[in-house]
Chain A
Amino acid sequence: MSKHTVNIIIDNVEIQAREGQTILQAADDAGIYIPRLCYLKDLIPGGHCRVCTVKVNGRPASACTFPVSEGLVIENDTEELTTLRRNVVEMLFAEGNHICPSCEASGNCELQAMAYRLGMLTVTQPFLRMPRELDATHPDVFIDRDRCILCGRCARASEAEGKRVFGFEGRGINKRIAVDGMHGLKETELKAADRAAHACPTGCLRVKRVGWKVPVGERLYDTTPIGSDIEQKQPVG
């Protein structure tokens, strides 16, 4: 990473960023949280969810992919962007078949936590209720595509650890996460200890036999909103 620094402005606060960083990485370092779902630290950004969309010099761009440069003026925490992000999160809820009250991921789920953080009260889009396949063939990991938001984190994590367990198939509204086996996940190289098996932000890709170990009430987002860890890093301003 280059040692050269550049100055950028996020919501009227000037921060320093290292050349080569993306807007999202620079904001994280400065303790400014930009909401995101498909981004996972150390992985190549995917640009799938668009929740991290900010205004860069007045134009929309995804913070997870946009490189910093001297003098960028960025809008992040505005009412307009919060509404647009909430609308996209709502679409994800209506697109999939989510079961928050009975989902094992509830409380640890980034999608659910994001909905809370962005102030989503209900889903105003019609639920699509499309059939989505469940893959429980693997002895230690299962995929419940009902809860997949196609963030691609599992696929990128798998590639990063030298495997190619996941990919996509289909297009448009019929796009789904796919696995590198003819008869399901059991034929892939996936191990429960792989980072890929733990990369899912929702209840889609889960390791078996560890469900409900942490009781509801003591889970990641039960007491503090998503993004708190970043905001607590160093107070801004």
Chain B
Amino acid sequence: MSNDYRKVVQEVVAKFGKDRTRLMDIARAVHAKIGYISEDTVGAIAEAVGCHRVEVRDMTSFYAFFSREPKGATMIRLCDAVVERMKGAGAVAKAFEEALGIRFGQTTPDGKISLAYTSCIGMSDQAPSALVNGKVLTNIRPEDVKSIVEAVRAGDLHDGGVVSVKSVESNLRQAGPVIFAPFERGAGIRKALSMSPEEVINEMNKARVRGRGGAGFPLAMKWDFCRKAEGSAHYVVCNGDEGEPGTFKDRVILTECPDLMFEGMTIAGYAVGAKQGFFYLRGEYEYLLPYLEQVLAKRRRLGLLGENVCGAEGFDFDIRIQMGAGAYICGEESALIESLEGKRGAPRDRPPFPVQKGYLGQPTSVNNVETLCCAARIMERGAEWFSKIGTKDSTGTKLLSISGDCEAPGVYEVEYGITVEKMLEQVGAVDAQAVQIGGPSGQCIAPKDFGRSICFEDLPTGGSTIIFGKDRDLLECMEGFLEFFVEESCGWCAPCRAGTTFLKMQFEKLLKGRSTREDLQKLEETANTVKFMSRCGLGQTAPNPVLTTLRNFPALYEARIKPGEFIPAFDLREALNEACSITGQKPHDVEV
């Protein structure tokens, strides 16, 4: 047995090569075979790859989907995101604990099944959801759990194997002209190849298309910087690591029209002068991998990838899919590049920007899935056509992933400029108390702002849209968002690593009714410190659930605070009560 892990490691390293940059794939493959990565395995990987043990430990201890301890052969990861909780994940969690006789974080006594929570897996429109060894279960009801567990025990969790198990639905509610209109494979590439790379970039410039990830950087500028940057090679990376809680638009693109995205990547490769493209797919979407590999294989057969793409002499371009392993931070472009190089997903300081020094220190253009789809469509239909859709500074359409308290959750392709009011009407949300625009890292807006428009000029968004009905405890939802950032902070910089935890603790105190006005001021100060001092977008936006609700829902905070100067976070009476009930004594009346 002791030599087994060595054999597995040797086989895997032989497959991927003695290549330090493929450490993610090597660790993933080893993990899939052995079920966890022990310290012995870490050493064997380091030896086989020819790097230091501490490098392997560093990387493998970072990603949520790598376990360093032995786990059951079946890993059930129940999604614990805020929307999932709103849709009853709590009752489902309890049902799992009862059915398996273990708590979350534990493994069944026979060592076969482990139970864990996970952050948003991109199924908010069909919550509650779970990942079982990479397979997605959706719309889980507490009464389904028993049969799910039976199926797991019988090793029979395939489609149709269990009546109650529902597979992923697209939930594409509204198709628009840019992303979800019919598309002829290769049309965009052939058009691009009839122009010079500079002309292609100019076409993006005329279309005024901006990055769809949320930041809205002009695509033409990014490609232009990348093309002009000096380097021994240029790279194109498509960011398929959508991890913002409440987003799932890329899931629908990858299901409905991955060809459009790969077409956009190929056009990007031509424009910036790259031969190699990477598609970084979040670990949670592993179930899409076989299909996406098929699509790539077909494109290679059709001459849309490989040497002399579409017969264009000298334009070689191919795409490799890199799987992630459970880390929200890898959606940040420089962290994604680190991950692609086989390291922990820690963001880099900028400057230099990835377009100057990205993958392996070379000029790299990292673009959102949706942005690259826009690029392909712009090539096909022309900049003029595209720029007439939307608003002046936000051309085209935007995919919104809508979930929460509404009748028809799903993906909507809307024209930029749509008001929140109109959007709410479309999805059947009456009496919304608040809407989370752009996910937890975006902003929580109140009805007074429902007349505002979704576009870069007014309410920018990466697409995650969570609706809170009038009966929701909004601050409790915000606490869930703060927990998320604690989980997902990479830990590189002090203000985000420690500050997100302090924010959560202060917020818990508030929700427990133990905060005074002074605590509220402290909460705001901590939030502002984390926002201002953090190194990357995660820390800079992690306090937004607090800051935007403080601004838009001050009454909710006023209602929670207590008079007086100070109340300790620790409740002495409560602690004593528990001890008293255990020992059967009566509590004395203590001053707290």
- Give the chain B neighbours of A50 by CB distance below 8 A: 493-495, 533-535
Query: In the bound complex, do residue B52 and residue A167 qualify as a contact, i.e. CB atoms below 8 Å apart?
Result: yes
Q: Within residues 37 to 68 of chain B, which ones have a CB less than 8 A from any CB in chain A?
A: 39, 43, 52-55, 57-58, 61-62
A residues in contact with B526, CB < 8 Å: 87, 125
Inter-chain CA distance A141–B9, complex, in Å, is: 33
- CB contacts (< 8 Å) of A165 on chain B: these are 54
Binds A, one of B139-147, B384-392, B428-436, B483-491: B483-491
Q: How far is the CA of A48 from the CA of B491 in the complex (A)?
A: 9
Task: Classify the interface of chain B: helix, strand, loop or mixed.
Answer: helix
A151-193 interface code vs B (CB 8 A; 1 in, 0 out): 0000000000000111111111111001111100000000000
User: Is B564 positioned at the interface, with any CB of A under 8 Å from its CB?
Assistant: no
In chain B, residues 458-517, which have Cβ atoms closer than 8 Å to a Cβ of chain A?
Answer: 486-495, 497-502, 505
A217 within 8 A of B: no
Digitize A106-119: 1 where CB-to-B-CB distance is under 8 Å, 0 elsewhere: 00000000000000
| A172–B327 CA distance with the chains assembled, in angstroms | 11
Residue A174 contacts which of B491, B493, B525, B529 (CB distance < 8 angstroms)? B491
Contacting residues of chain A (46-68) with chain B, CB-CB under 8 angstroms: 47-51, 53, 60, 62, 65-67
Assess whether B105 is interfacial by the CB under 8 Å rule: no
Indicate with 1 or 0, residue by residue over A10-50, a CB within 8 angstroms of chain B CB atoms. 00000000000000000000000000000000000101111
Complex contact A47–B349 (CB within 8 A): yes
Residue pairs across A and B with CB atoms within 8 Å: the count is 127
The answer, among A88, A128, A149, A172, for a CB contact under 8 Å with B490, is A172
Contact call A181/B53, Cβ cutoff below 8 A:
yes
Q: Is A124 an interface residue (CB 8 A)?
A: yes
Is B533 a contact of A60 with CB atoms below 8 Å? yes
Q: Contacts A91-B498, A126-B505, A179-B54: A170 and B533 contacting too (C-beta < 8 A)?
A: no
**Most chain B CB neighbours (cut-off 10 Å) among A50, A67, A172:** A172
8 Å CB contact of A172 from B55, B487, B529, B535? B487
Q: Which residues of B contact A180 (CB under 8 A)?
A: 52-54
Partner of B498, one of A45, A47, A164, A173: A173
A84–B62 touching, CB < 8 Å: no
A94 located at the interface, meaning its Cβ lies under 8 Å from any Cβ of chain B in the complex: yes
In the complex, residue of chain B having the shortest beta-carbon distance to the beta carbon of A64: B349
Q: Check: A199 CB closer than 8 A to any chain B CB.
A: no
In the complex where A167-B54, A168-B58, A182-B43 touch, is A45 in contact with B349 (Cβ < 8 A)?
yes
Q: Is B522 at the interface (CB under 8 A from chain A)?
A: yes
B43, B53, B497, B569: the one contacting A173 at CB < 8 Å is B497
In Å, the complex CA distance between A48 and B62 comes to: 17
Please count how many residues in chain A sit with their CB below 8 Å of the partner chain's CB atoms. Answer: 43
Q: A48 touching B502 by the CB < 8 A rule?
A: no
Whether the pair A88, B55 counts as a contact (CB closer than 8 A) is no
Tell me the nearest residue of chain B to A173, going by C-beta.
B501
Decide: A84 near B532, CB < 8 A? Known: A167-B58, A182-B43. yes
Give the residue of A47, A66, A172 whose beta carbon is less than 8 angstroms from that of B486.
Answer: A172
Q: Is B344 an interface residue (CB 8 A)?
A: yes
Q: Tell me the complex Cα distance, A132–B128, Å.
A: 36
The yes or no answer to A150 lying at the interface (CB within 8 A) is yes
Given contacts A84-B529, A88-B533, A173-B486, contact A182 B39 (CB under 8 A): yes
Q: Which residues of B contact A128 (CB under 8 A)?
A: 498, 501
**B314 close to A (CB within 8 Å):** no
A226 within 8 A of B: no
A87 touches B351 (CB 8 A): no
Residues of B within 8 A of A126 (CB): 502, 505, 569
Across the interface, do A88 and B495 meet the contact criterion of CB distance under 8 Å? yes
Q: Which of A49, A62, A128, A168 has the most CB of B within 10 A?
A: A168
The residues of A that contact B344 with a CB separation of less than 8 Å are: 168, 171
Chain A residues within 8 Å of B54, by CB: 164-167, 178-180
A75 contacts B by Cβ under 8 Å = no
Of all chain B residues, which has the CB nearest A168? B58
A60 engages B532 (CB within 8 Å): yes
A67 to B352, CA, bound (A): 9
A104 near B: Cβ within 8 Å? Answer: no
A92: interface (CB < 8 Å): yes
B528 to chain A: closest residue by CB:
A84
Q: Mark B432-469, 1 if CB is under 8 A from A, else 0.
A: 00000000000000000000000000000000000000
A149 near B351 with CB under 8 A, answer: no
Report B-chain residues with C-beta under 8 Å of the C-beta of A91.
Answer: 494-495, 498-499, 502, 529
Q: What is the bound-complex CA distance between A181 and B490, given in angstroms?
A: 23
CB distance from A161 to the nearest CB of B (A): 14
Q: Which residues of A contact B489 (CB under 8 A)?
A: 171-173
**Chain B residues positioned under 8 Å from A171 (CB to CB):** 61-62, 327, 344, 489-491
B521 nearest CB across to chain A (Å):
11
Write the nearest CB–CB distance from A185 to chain B, whole angstroms.
Answer: 11
Given contacts A180-B53, A182-B53, contact A88 B491 (CB under 8 A): no
| Alpha-carbon separation in the docked complex, A178 to B492 (Å) | 14
B69-111 residues at the A interface, CB under 8 angstroms? none
Task: Give the chain A neighbours of B491 by CB distance below 8 A.
Answer: 150, 168, 170-175
Question: Is A84 in contact with B493, judged by CB distance below 8 angstroms?
Answer: no
Among candidates A66, A149, A174, A182, residue contacting B494 with C-beta atoms closer than 8 Å: A149
Shortest distance from the beta carbon of B490 to any chain A beta carbon, whole Å: 6
Among the listed B39, B486, B497, B525, which residue makes an inter-chain contact with A87, where contact means beta carbons less than 8 Å apart? B525
Q: Are B529 and A150 in contact (CB under 8 A)?
A: no
Nearest opposing residue in chain B for A159, CB measure: B52
0/1 string, B336-360, CB within 8 A of A gives 1: 0000000010000101000000000
Q: Which residues of B contact A173 (CB under 8 A)?
A: 486, 489, 491, 497-498, 500-501
Given contacts A62-B349, A66-B351, contact A48 B493 (CB under 8 A): yes
Chain A residue nearest to B540 in the complex (CB):
A60
Cα-based distance from A63 to B493 in the complex (angstroms): 14
Asked if B58 and A178 sit within 8 Å, CB to CB, the answer is yes
* B254 vs chain A, min Cβ distance (A): 26
How near does chain B come to A121, taking the closest CB pair, in angstroms?
15
Q: Given A47-B349, A84-B529, verify A169-B493 contact (CB < 8 Å).
A: no
Enumerate chain A residues within 8 angstroms of B493, measured Cβ to Cβ: 47-50
Cβ A125 vs Cβ B502 within 8 A: yes
Chain A's nearest CB lies how many Å from the CB of B67? 13
What is the distance, in angstroms, from B99's C-beta to the closest C-beta of chain A?
A: 30
Given contacts A65-B349, A67-B351, A173-B491, contact A164 B55 (CB under 8 A): yes
* A124–B58 CA distance with the chains assembled, in angstroms: 32
> Which one of A53, A164, A172 lies within 8 Å of B533 (CB-CB)?
A53
B550-592, CB under 8 A of A: which get 1 and which 0?
0000000000000000000100000000000000000000000
Across-interface contacts of A48 in B (CB, < 8 A): 492-494
Cβ contacts A to B, 11 pairs, < 8 Å: A49-B494, A91-B498, A125-B502, A128-B501, A150-B497, A164-B55, A169-B57, A169-B58, A170-B61, A173-B489, A173-B491
Apart from A84-B532, A91-B529, A128-B501, 16 more pairs, CB < 8 Å:
A45-B349, A87-B529, A88-B529, A88-B533, A91-B494, A94-B502, A95-B494, A95-B501, A125-B526, A126-B502, A126-B569, A164-B55, A171-B490, A173-B497, A180-B52, A180-B54
Q: Which residues of B contact A (CB under 8 A)?
A: 39, 43, 52-55, 57-58, 61-62, 327, 344, 349, 351, 486-495, 497-502, 505, 522, 525-526, 528-529, 532-535, 569
A-side residues, CB < 8 A to B, are: 45, 47-51, 53, 60, 62, 65-67, 84-85, 87-88, 91-92, 94-95, 124-126, 128, 149-150, 164-175, 178-182
